């Protein structure tokens, strides 16, 4: 199997092993590089066409690997052709063709509008580096969203203070979107506005969207955020008596050569 598909499938199953993908929860999209499209050319025979409810014209002609709606991450390695697929965005950006996979009438994830608008936002924010958008349902970051107001400063400070290396991994902070109905255009547009500023955003009472240049970076980002949330909840349960100070965060950022989002420091 082509390496890009192997790497994609590994990430799906890694997320399942972490417990982030109960049932069909979560979804993953990857914007393929030209050489990866060329490597998979022999597979790309499908012509099933579907419309998009959004304007994805900045992604015209791009190929994405996507998980199927209602499909289980747990099953991706067993039958990739049924649970994931490759789509090509139309030249006008208002629809796409399923070129491979998603067999038996499956469709791409119901969160495809959020994925594509997030891809556009992160592509623009990272000079085209971002290729991966990942949605997962990790328990700790979701639980944490019940304990705070939906405010990026509050959330980012908690996470930065909950594991020393967080501020180095996501110096921009993490955004948070208040509860909305999933699967639609409205949540997609709100997510894209927010993810422009942060590499990851939490959907309150639901889960997280992470982004990155490759599978390792994206999985690692979500993993780091989820671990910090777990540490925070454990420390909060035990009783927090002290934490990393803002001055320590500044010294840390300097030592690692990253630019911390100053709006979130006091």
Looking at the annotation, which residues are catalytic? 111
User: What residue 27 binds from Zn ion, ligand 13P, none (CB within 5 to 8 A, per partner kind)?
Assistant: ligand 13P
Q: Give the span between the Cα atoms of 108 and 139, in whole angstroms.
A: 24
Strand partners, 87: 64, 98
Site residues for Zn ion, 196-225, by CB under 5 A, read 207
Q: How far is CA 265 from the centre of its chain?
A: 25
Pairing of the two strands 200-203 and 175-177 = parallel
Minimum distance from residue 29 beta carbon to ligand 13P (Å): 10
Task: Decide: is 53 part of the binding site for ligand 13P (CB under 6 A).
Answer: no
Count the site residues for Zn ion by CB under 5 A: 1
Question: Which of residues 109, 161, 191, 211 is near ligand 13P by CB under 6 A?
Answer: 109
Minimum distance from residue 64 beta carbon to Zn ion (Å): 18
Q: Which of the ranges 106-114, 214-222, 226-234, 235-243 carries the binding residues for ligand 13P, by CB under 6 A?
A: 106-114
Identify which of 109, 166, 165 has the alpha carbon closest to the alpha carbon of residue 141: 166
Task: Decide: is 26 part of the binding site for ligand 13P (CB under 6 A).
Answer: yes
CA contacts within 13 A on the Cβ side of 262: 2
Identify which of 50, 30, 34, 26 has the alpha carbon closest to the alpha carbon of residue 99: 50
Task: Decide: is 191 part of the binding site for ligand 13P (CB under 6 A).
Answer: no
Minimum distance from residue 105 beta carbon to Zn ion (Å): 22
Of 101 and 207, CB closest to Zn ion: 207
Site residues for ligand 13P, 161-190, by CB under 6 A, read 182-183
Q: 10 Å Cβ neighbour count for 239?
A: 6
Identify which of 93, 42, 105 has the alpha carbon closest to the alpha carbon of residue 69: 105
Identify which of 251, 255, 200 has the alpha carbon closest to the alpha carbon of residue 229: 200
CA contacts within 13 A on the Cβ side of 226: 20
Task: Decide: is 80 part of the binding site for ligand 13P (CB under 6 A).
Answer: no
Minimum distance from residue 127 beta carbon to ligand 13P (Å): 28
CA contacts within 13 A on the Cβ side of 218: 30
User: What residue 114 binds from ligand 13P, Zn ion, none (CB within 5 to 8 A, per partner kind)?
Assistant: none
Minimum distance from residue 206 beta carbon to ligand 13P (Å): 7
Site residues for ligand 13P, 116-145, by CB under 6 A, read 135
Contacts to Zn ion by CB under 5 A: 207
Contacts to ligand 13P by CB under 6 A: 24-27, 67, 69-70, 109-111, 135, 182-183
């Amino acid at each position: 199997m082509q390496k890009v598909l192997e790497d994609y499938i590994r990430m799906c199953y890694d997320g399942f092993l972490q417990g982030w993908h109960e049932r069909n929860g979560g979804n993953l999209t990857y914007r393929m590089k030209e050489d990866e499209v060329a490597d998979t050319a022999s597979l790309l025979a499908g012509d099933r066409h579907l419309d998009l409810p959004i304007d994805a014209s900045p992604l015209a002609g791009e190929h994405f690997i996507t998980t199927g709606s209602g499909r289980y991450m747990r099953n991706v390695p067993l039958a990739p052709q049924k649970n994931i697929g490759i789509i090509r965005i139309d030249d006008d950006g208002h629809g796409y063709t399923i070129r491979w996979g998603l067999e038996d009438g499956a469709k791409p994830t119901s969160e495809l509008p959020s994925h594509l608008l997030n891809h556009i936002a992160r592509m623009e924010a990272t000079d085209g580096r971002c290729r991966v958008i990942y949605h997962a349902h990790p328990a700790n970051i979701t639980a944490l969203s019940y304990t705070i107001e939906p405010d990026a400063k509050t959330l980012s400070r908690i996470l930065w203070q909950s594991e020393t290396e967080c501020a180095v991994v996501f110096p921009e902070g993490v955004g948070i979107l208040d509860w909305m109905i999933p699967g639609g255009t409205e949540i997609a547009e709100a997510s894209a506005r927010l993810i422009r500023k942060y590499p990851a955003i939490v959907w309150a009472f639901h889960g997280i969207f992470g982004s990155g240049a490759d599978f390792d970076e994206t999985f690692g980002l979500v993993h780091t955020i989820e671990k910090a949330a777990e540490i925070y909840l454990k420390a909060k349960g035990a009783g927090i008596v002290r934490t990393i100070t803002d001055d320590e965060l500044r010294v840390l950022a300097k030592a690692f050569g990253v630019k911390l989002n100053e709006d979130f420091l006091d």
